[in-house]
Structure 1
């Protein structure tokens, strides 16, 4: 018998079991990734985001969220951020900036991102109004948005701070500060 090997009923049954296992695993992965539409709210927001420079110069208030794909808090806040973006699309720009993308390193440095999620808030002229670090509830996000849209002071929430411009220092200020100002530790030095 030098012909083709005969298939045994057991070999065929094993193949069917393997096919069924493969289908079950594929189905399980689809379910775990969020169903047939596997794009998460965070991925939807990131895809729909304007370029930060465009957002800051188009005459609308802007909320820039610094996030990372691996950040659980960012993912938890994403559905509320997506809803906020949908409700205020024509009046407010919601921009996502992934801190792990080297393309945005200059923005991460410029806005001193030390924790995520970090929301940087800008008025319609693109001027910094404040920043928020950490998880925000839908109600808190609405309060922040309302303040931006109505050009009102930011709400007093834990982890939210206003941004102010430092006045240009005078020579008298420099003399008073002396050498101690030169040795002040930066926000990332942990010193």
Structure 2
């Protein structure tokens, strides 16, 4: 066997090994992405707000952002909670970076994320909590929400990421329009 033929075989073998490794990596990457509990994956599975507030089931609405470290830290726990309570509670996710949700951001005075707003089966906001919450706290609140009793951990605070809603001239406070304020 000549040196050129041996070199060609080694090169072809290396190419085949690299191709197999790359194929396995891509396959495993897609599997991991499909099973992901990322915020984006959860948001895609979430109940639309309009449906949640009119279907008669209690609702937990989460105001979040993809860049929010507290939101990311809670993603796995929330995915498990959503799986456990999916038959009894609507789960809505509203991304604060989407200007579509600015009316809701202002209505519920979202000033830190994650922020959770709890709605009864009639679509009325009855409680909220802000910041990272242990899964036991969220579950206790959901159990109370389902039972139509007061939520034990409503208005509680945990670690938040700073957030300021975008404001334009159409949404500024009425008092700011006058140049003669003192």
Return the TM-score normalized by structure 1.
0.65
- Out of 133, 156, 159, the residue aligned to residue 157 of structure 2 is 159
Q: Take 1:100 and 1:49, find their aligned partners in 2: how far apart are those partners?
A: 17
- The answer on 1:110 being equivalent to 2:104 is no
Q: Take 1:19 and 1:101, find their aligned partners in 2: how far apart are those partners?
A: 45
Q: Structure 1 residue 23: deviation in Å?
A: 9.1
Provide structure 1 residue ranges, at least 5 long, that are not aligned to the other structure: 1-9, 161-181, 184-191
Give SS of 1:41's match: coil
Structure of larger gyration radius:
1
Is the 2:64–2:96 contact (alpha carbons within 8 Å) kept by the matching residues of 1?
yes
Give SS of 1:59's match: coil
Superposed CA deviations along residues 24-83 of structure 1, whole A, max 9, x for unmatched, are 89988998x796335631323201111112101110000000000111110111112111
Judged with a 3 Å threshold, the aligned counterparts in structure 2 of structure 1 residues 66 and 34 are, in CA distance, closer, same or farther, namely: farther
Runs (4 or more) in structure 1 with deviation over 3 Å come to 16-31, 33-36
Superposed CA deviations along residues 69-109 of structure 1, whole A, max 9, x for unmatched, are 11111011111211111111121001111111122222112
**What does 1:38-187 align with in structure 2 at a 5 Å threshold?**
40-42=36-38, 43-156=40-153, 158-159=156-157
For the aligned residues, what is the CA RMSD?
3.1
Return the TM-score normalized by structure 2.
0.68
Q: How many matched pairs?
A: 156
Give the structure, 1 or 2, with the largest relative contact order (CA under 8 Å, sep 6 or more). 2
Provide structure 2 residue ranges, at least 5 long, that are not aligned to the other structure: 1-6, 159-174, 177-182
Q: Take 2:26 and 2:130, find their aligned partners in 1: how far apart are those partners?
A: 33
